[in-house]
Structure 1
Amino acid sequence: MTQVINYGIIGCGMMGQEHLRNIALLNGARVAAIYEPDEIMGAAAKAIAPSAEMMESVWALLSRDDLDCLLVASPNYLHVPQLEEIAARNPLPLLIEKPLFTDPDDARRVRDLGASYPAPIWVAMEYRYMPPVQALIEQVEAATGGVKMLTIREHRFPFLPKVGDWNRFNRYTGGTLVEKCCHFFDLMRLILKAEPVRIMASAGQEVNHLSEAYDGEVPDIWDTAYVIVDFDSGARAMLELCMYAEGARYQEEISAVGPKGKIEALVPGPGRFWPTHLGVPPVPQVIVSPRHPKGPQMVEIPVDPTILDAGDHNGSTFYQHARFLELVRSGGTPEVGLIDGARAVEMGQAAQLSARTGAAVEVK
């Protein structure tokens, strides 16, 4: 009989509720306890996981003796203090949402915690687990003969409303190139199997949130960016981000090119945003374009509708949880560890600095 794994959840806003829906689809997993300080979000979380007990504090949740693992899906700026609290009180296997931290000064704090933490810590980088992206990762070497150029384009909707409007301000998010784009910097390192050495960026706030004000303060979060990254392998990567292009057919387009050819992954945005008058949403695609013989080969990568409907990330949250759950049951090493999470944040911070100063930033 499969052992039931009990989750304790810290933070159940929009992303936390996506985690709840996906945990409910797993065999042998249940949410036993939730800490969510916002009354409305707490009620929504309880509706998704009615058997979970709502806890009055992080400390109270960590004091339970029936939990097997933890998930942190709180606002970005709370991740480090909550990680410290978990390490001090009940260091269980942990899945912690990206970005791992927002303040450059926290990098060493996180690494020091990781060095003494007795259980696995997995950083939630959902984009790795989108089925078309997984297919690209599996085929990229054979299709390209070794990637020389990698391009990631995300044309998407603006930042959605969050509790307390924390995601409208750089001081809480770490900035768009950290908050949003750490996913893409993680993918760059994963696909290229290399480390960044130089980052150049041009970015800013051009369209979104300019007419908004919260306690008299206008949001300063960016919505536009180009980022170029040189890697120690000699490969180059580029990110193009536009957060006012939700009319596009595909939200993410990834292209990897090498001496043998090119491979692309095309990923649609959340199905709930697709206009119903246009019919069914587009299906993800992977396209391989060899140089010899010439001729693109396209394969559709459909996702189970039940899994697709459980979140906004093309099914990736489910597949990530399935692998994390296996880690909790059987042990081993997280597929996305603290170093991966930290490097993705540091690349985003270097890109933010480059965009502010107009200078290339060397990455140590």
Structure 2
Amino acid sequence: MKKSKEFANRLHALVPKFAYVPVEDRFLMNPGPLKYRFNVIGVGVNGQEHIRVTMLEGRCTVHGVYDPNPSSVEGARRVKAEFSEEPLVVYDSLEAACNDPAVDGLIICTPNHTHLEVLKVAVRSGKHILLEKPMATNLKDAYAIWQIAQNYPKVLQIGLQYRYKPIYVEAIHEAKVRRSLGEIKTITILEHREPFLDKVRQWNKFSKYSGGTLVEKCCHYFDLFNLFAESRPVMVYASGSQAVNFKDFEYEGERSDILDNAFVIVEYANGIRANFNLCMFAPMVYEEIVICGDEGRLKASEGENGQAHSEWKSYLEVICLPDRTSRVMTPSYPALIEATGHNGGTYYEHLRFIDAMDGKPSTAATAEEGFWSVVIGVAAEESVKRGEKVMVRELLEGNGLGHL
């Protein structure tokens, strides 16, 4: 109860109509003493989202940023200024940002292909680290990061925040805690959405920088597959193409090569089967998960269609055998939090990061979990290229990881 009251008071402090109350006169709306200071490395759209949720939560602050792109830095300044008059420190090097003694934690949001090299600098600081997804673009780098994390004395959390989106939080609770479905047998996830947005130097349009669409975008869903399956993937088969998006796009003489649609099938060692349906040229943002067990079925969805007179809400239904209850619900967080991005998933990921820094148990993604989400993504990309199924054991052996 105490924790929920503290949470409500922090939310009240952010309501604009209460902005007139001086800091020294705040009691219910006082978030308490500052706990930690973070530096954000890379402040494009994802980095700025991390700044926003950190400042919104209120117990921590963003001290400074490092990003070689001046426009990104200016965007970061604007975001922090919405919440605090304290100036944002801007560093002129990665090393300076990582090693500032005034800072307790680092949030790394640089392009995917840079993660390992940035992390090598960051871990020398001995600070807590949140590393954005995907942790790497290939298996060797992902494994190297997993090994760094195993020996790292502080928190090293991977930014797979979809597990904290409302529909997936409730789906995990129904399937894994209440066991409403009995033994899980099949998992289906669907994402239909608009194309990849613009990035600085357009790195997300090229597989060699992003890891490919099935690594860059879909590692979130493969992480969810692994959470529900509680087993290791043994086979991946995928079919996909670049049917619509960026077919004529070139940047500095290179032509875009990323997939914009795919079907992915994953078989697990315990017999569970999962399948994923992706379309990135749809006129909406829509996600759906369907899980079937031997005693029930769960379906959950969320989406936005952009139409003036049509509203989509988060939805979850559980249909069980006749001897137990079924239910329909609308999973949600406070509107203020959901509006920060990813339906509030990043905000609650930050709460888990703070928990871990405090020495409390956390359900956030570990480097090991991040590694296995990349394994499925890499296997799926490889399967599309080969036109045949990929055995995970053979893929690992081919990358010098046959011992796993």
**TM-score, with structure 2 as normaliser:** 0.84
> Contact 1:94 / 1:121 at 8 angstroms: preserved in 2?
yes
Q: Tell me how far 1:278 sits from its aligned partner.
A: 2.1
Partner of 1:7: 38
Partner of 1:354: 383
Please tell me whether residue 320 in structure 1 is matched to residue 349 in structure 2.
Answer: yes
d(CA) in 1 for partners of 2:324 and 2:356? 42
> Contact 2:111 / 2:203 at 8 angstroms: preserved in 1?
yes
Partner of 2:184: 147
Partner of 1:278: 309
Please list the CA deviations of residues 11-65 of structure 1 after superposition, one character each: whole Å capped at 9, or x if unmatched: 1001111111111111311000111111111100111114320111111112210
Please tell me whether residue 30 in structure 1 is matched to residue 61 in structure 2.
Answer: yes
Q: 2:116 aligns with which of 80, 88, 94?
A: 80
Q: 1:56 aligns with which of 88, 92, 95?
A: 92
Please list the CA deviations of residues 247-293 of structure 1 after superposition, one character each: whole Å capped at 9, or x if unmatched: 3xx61100000111101111124xxxx425225x4221111112426
Corresponding letter in the other structure for 2:373: A
Q: Tell me how far 1:361 sits from its aligned partner.
A: 1.1
d(CA) in 2 for partners of 1:294 and 1:267? 26
Corresponding letter in the other structure for 2:374: V
Higher Rg of the two aligned structures: 2
Corresponding letter in the other structure for 2:118: Q
Please list the CA deviations of residues 327-347 of structure 1 after superposition, one character each: whole Å capped at 9, or x if unmatched: 112355663111001111111
d(CA) in 2 for partners of 1:258 and 1:129? 22
Please list the CA deviations of residues 156-198 of structure 1 after superposition, one character each: whole Å capped at 9, or x if unmatched: 1110001110000000000111001111110001012111111
Please list the CA deviations of residues 179-225 of structure 1 after superposition, one character each: whole Å capped at 9, or x if unmatched: 01111110001012111111111111111111322123221111111
Corresponding letter in the other structure for 2:261: T
Corresponding letter in the other structure for 2:107: L
SS in 2 for 1:257: strand
Corresponding letter in the other structure for 1:303: Y
C-alpha spacing 1:28/1:83, structure 2 compared with 1 (3 Å): same
d(CA) in 2 for partners of 1:112 and 1:152? 30
Corresponding letter in the other structure for 2:52: R
d(CA) in 2 for partners of 1:337 and 1:183? 13
d(CA) in 2 for partners of 1:63 and 1:149? 46
Partner of 2:215: 178
C-alpha spacing 1:11/1:292, structure 2 compared with 1 (3 Å): same
Please list the CA deviations of residues 55-106 of structure 1 after superposition, one character each: whole Å capped at 9, or x if unmatched: 1111111221011111001110111000111122x02111110011113332
d(CA) in 2 for partners of 1:297 and 1:331? 32
Q: How many matched pairs?
A: 355
Unpaired segments of 5 or more residues in structure 2?
1-31, 82-86, 394-404
d(CA) in 1 for partners of 2:227 and 2:140? 25
> Contact 1:327 / 1:334 at 8 angstroms: preserved in 2?
no
Q: 2:319 aligns with which of 275, 283, 289?
A: 289
**TM-score, with structure 1 as normaliser:** 0.93
Identity of aligned residues (%): 32
> Contact 2:231 / 2:268 at 8 angstroms: preserved in 1?
yes
* Aligned-residue RMSD, C-alpha: 1.8
